[in-house]
Chains A and B, each alone.
Chain A
Amino acid sequence: MLKKTGLLLGAATGVALAGVMAITAMAQNAAGPFTQDQVNAGRQAYNDNCAICHQNDLSGATDAPPLAGDAFFGAWKGRSTEALYSKIHATMPAGRGGSLDEATYTGIVAYILHANSARAGTTALTPTTDVAIGAIATGKLADDVLHPPARVAAAPANGQGANSDVATSAGFARPGQVVRYGDPGRFRIPTQLGLSLKGDIQNYIPVTDEMLRNPPDGDWLMFRRNYQGWSFSPLSQINTGNVSSLQLKWMWSMPENGTMEDTPIVHDGIMYMWGVGNTIQALNAKTGELLWENRLGPTPTAMGPGPSTTETRSMGLYGNNVYVAAPEGWLYALDARTGEQVWKTKINPKEGVGRTTGGVIIINGKVIVGMTGCGRPKSGDHCYISAYDAKTGARDWKFTTVALTGQPGGDSWGGKPDDERMGAETWIAGTYDPELNTTYWGTAQAKPWRRDLRGTGTGATDYANSTVALDPDTGKMKWWHNHAPGETFDLDEVFERVLVDHDSQKYLLTIGKAGILWKLDRVTGKYLDHAETVFQNVFTKIDPKTGIPTYRKDVIDQKVDQWLPSCPGPEGGHDWQATSYHKPSDTLIIPLSQSCVFMLGNGSQTYFEMPGSDGNMGRLSAYRTSDLKPLWSFQQRAPFLTGVVSTAGNVAFVGDFDRVFRAIDVRNGKTLWTTRLGTTVQGYPVSFMVDGKQYIAVTTALGGGSPQLKPGTMLREVHRPVTGYAVFVFGLPDAK
């Protein structure tokens, strides 16, 4: 075992070139302070606990930094194995730091060192082993990581590996413990897949194109209710005068041990729910009675909340089918009356590459889905938006979301080869203008996040962080507008595109993690206006004619292994918690978050409160869309973890991290009603009507990325059960 020496410390800080050379030479010879047995055990533990976020090849994705290669080594070569253990033990698995046993953590650290070409020795790694990582590793990817053995399977639904033991449904078992269910005769064991309850829904009304264009008042047929992405219900039975008497009508517990950010889909009195493990359920929307259930799988194999890549945010209805884009990259059509599978087709390019979490939009008989989690280094596996025949599942078209050589915008990647152009994920379903026959999608940033690692210089990296306008019949792009050219802080501009008309003017409004509300002409893509909704220090100015932002100088000049602050951080500003457009008052109601990060080149982060926020991470603000005039705003300690639904009764509903679900007056932001639910109120609330009565539905759940992780660390006074995934339905008291 090598202890740190003055020479090694000097080299590790990168001060002396000679020191670096010495380290490199030593690293080629010195055995690491860990054993091959630890590596073997750590490989399995890594696959079970880490791979879903950090990827099988340790290359990192979404909120997870790379754990091998240049980016990792640049950040860690000067630090010790003890610090790496401490960091991983305290923070991992995400949101469950310290939940694994010591042998598992040491194994994972040993495997990470091995993955960076450190050589196993005869001394076992312990939590206090203190060796400079630069002295034993090179940062070169080990061969068996670059080319993993075939038995290393892709991570399943809740992201914890394919070979783990069965988890409990409630998450009370320790890791690895097999729990026997005491009464399988009455309850179907959660690991059994298939149609567990066949439905027999009579007189089902098929969903037509006309219904999607003009949804029945009592229905919620798609993600944001209408093609324009408003999340506005024309129902007014529940209004500012009576909302204070709202009461629980029924609730239904949902599968746990994963991630849920769900939209209840409601048609003609039937509610369709997606649950962890791709458990699809149809419920009587008035009574909460289960009508059918199909467990598509794969089932969760580990306990606790999952990452953001293991869920889907919305299903869709068309004809007699319900359409499910499972996060593992499969698109299903199920019979909405029985739950039986009609067809199943592959979305992603190959097993383990590409996931889909944003849900679906169905346009002119085509089911259109986005993709995330794709784009491994030099793989050529680009993200794409793709369309499938609703009747057969046959793929109709796909649109690759990075500009390739020779395409418009193809010269914006700093000369990077096409197979190194990564990112531009689409993890929120698009919207649609039937009159223009155009579908609008947001894309996420290029990968890796940081420019210093990406190697694209100041290039715009089209079509990342853009609005793209596509012909839904062909997938051909009509225009794109890049909101944050060359983005570098994981500040996605991927979220909802809200389509609003003022007289003959056709606008598109969207807001990304930078917290800037953008207004475009959706016919041409031309920038029109913007409003900064929270503190931001990433951009120093925004061109008033083009909307192109200028980055802070130290952001432009960033170097590898340099910590850079970003306000907002990856929690946003604005995140997946979507806005609502209250048509009667021309008001856009926006859930906002107020946190910042320090980010290292490899994506490592520490968090802090946003200046001027007084420690309030949550903010809800309203803007008039005609002129982006701010109307009202309030803030609170806990961030909002749901989208907003507003109604013709001038009320809006939103839920938060600290379990509060509330109704507010759309006209002034005043809270009219609150209730406290079992765990974080997370998902997309909706409103619907059955038998002449209006209801509000919302889900409670855990799991996800930065919107869960940042407050989970920063709000130490907030305590939440790890259980409690459910859908709640509220309504007015029955008439006497």
Chain B
Amino acid sequence: MKHRILPALAFALLASAPALAAQTSYQTNLGPMPLDDETKTVIAGRGDATAVLDGRTVTVKGSFHGLPSNATEAHIFTSPVAGVPGKQILDLDVTKATSGTISGTFKLSAQQAKDLRTGKLYIQINSEKAPPGYSWGPKGTLWGWLLPAHETVGQDVPQEGHWFIPQLDTPKS
């Protein structure tokens, strides 16, 4: 139970086939950034994104919808650990609308590549109404941590034997 790295890696490799063995895939579901009853009307929406790492080159593609106001910018951040905000490191192209796409291709540093591999990079989309003027917590609209590619199933569909739990299925180093 305590060590699931090997199955996760095996699945990641499986997911990237028939791509080159050097490629590794990551995925994230973009959800609302921290909100409360006061800000939930401006912090909303959903999206998905993937990142494919080939050597040091990462290609990010994704889409989003349902933002309460037009997207203004999108970035990749590095964080100490998933769920903890960090520093902005890369800029993504983003559709300046309430729905659209994000994309970008970058040459990562060795540290950035390691951060991607260990689940510390996340995507953030900002919008016109979020973040301005709000003092609680990190400012933005959607975010999601890029985690090793893994099987996802529909709601209410049971997974038997093994299911993805980020801190167990992401490499520590």
A and B interact = yes
| Chain A interfacial positions (CB closer than 8 Å to B) | 79, 83, 86-87, 90-91, 97, 530-537, 544, 552, 554, 563, 565, 567, 596-598, 600, 604-616, 621, 627-637, 668-671, 713-714, 716
Cβ-defined partner of B82 (8 Å) among A86, A87, A611, A714: A611
Q: Check A614/B152 contact, CB under 8 A, given A598-B136, A629-B1, A630-B1.
A: yes
CB distance from B46 to the nearest CB of A (A): 7
Q: Count chain B CB atoms within 10 A of each CB in A536, A596, A621, A630 and give the residue with the most.
A: A630
The segment out of B26-34, B53-61, B105-113 that lies at the interface is B26-34
Chain B residues within an 8 Å CB radius of A97: 37-38
B interface, how many residues as a size bin?
A: 35 or more
Q: Looking across the interface, which residue of chain A has its beta carbon closest to that of B38?
A: A90
Q: Check A609/B36 contact, CB under 8 A, given A534-B165, A598-B136, A634-B159.
A: no
Q: How far is the CA of A670 from the CA of B144 in the complex (A)?
A: 29
Q: How far is the CA of A83 from the CA of B145 in the complex (A)?
A: 31
Q: Are B165 and A612 in contact (CB under 8 A)?
A: yes
Cβ-defined partner of A713 (8 Å) among B35, B165, B166: B35
Provide the B34-54 mask, 1 if CB < 8 A to any CB of A, else 0.
111111100010100000000
Q: Are A668 and B160 in contact (CB under 8 A)?
A: yes
Q: Are B40 and A537 in contact (CB under 8 A)?
A: no
Q: Are A612 and B147 in contact (CB under 8 A)?
A: yes
Q: How far is the CA of A632 from the CA of B39 in the complex (A)?
A: 36
CB distance from A97 to the nearest CB of B (A): 5
CB distance from A391 to the nearest CB of B (A): 47
Cβ-defined partner of A91 (8 Å) among B38, B80, B159, B168: B38
Q: Does B132 contact A (CB under 8 A)?
A: no
Q: Are B36 and A537 in contact (CB under 8 A)?
A: no
Q: Are A605 and B36 in contact (CB under 8 A)?
A: yes
Chain A residues within an 8 Å CB radius of B32: 608-609, 714
By Cβ-Cβ distance, the 8 closest A-B pairs, closest first, are A669-B158, A90-B38, A606-B34, A598-B137, A609-B31, A612-B166, A614-B29, A91-B37
Q: Are B36 and A532 in contact (CB under 8 A)?
A: no
CB distance from A435 to the nearest CB of B (A): 29
Q: How far is the CA of A607 from the CA of B153 in the complex (A)?
A: 25
Q: Count chain A CB atoms within 10 A of each CB in B36, B46, B81 and give the residue with the most.
A: B36
CB distance from A562 to the nearest CB of B (A): 11
| Chain B interfacial positions (CB closer than 8 Å to A) | 1-2, 29, 31-40, 44, 46, 80-85, 135-138, 143-145, 147, 152-153, 155-168
Q: How far is the CA of A554 from the CA of B136 in the complex (A)?
A: 18
Q: Are A634 and B135 in contact (CB under 8 A)?
A: no
Contacts A532-B165, A607-B36, A634-B157 known; 6 new A-B pairs at CB < 8 A = A91-B37, A531-B1, A532-B167, A535-B167, A600-B136, A634-B156
CB distance from A66 to the nearest CB of B (A): 17
Chain A residues within an 8 Å CB radius of B166: 535, 611-612
Q: How far is the CA of A544 from the CA of B2 in the complex (A)?
A: 10
Chain A residues within an 8 Å CB radius of B144: 611
CB distance from A587 to the nearest CB of B (A): 12
Chain A residues within an 8 Å CB radius of B155: 616, 634-637
Q: Are A633 and B83 in contact (CB under 8 A)?
A: no
Q: Looking across the interface, which residue of chain A has its beta carbon closest to that of B159?
A: A633
CB distance from B152 to the nearest CB of A (A): 6
CB distance from A488 to the nearest CB of B (A): 15
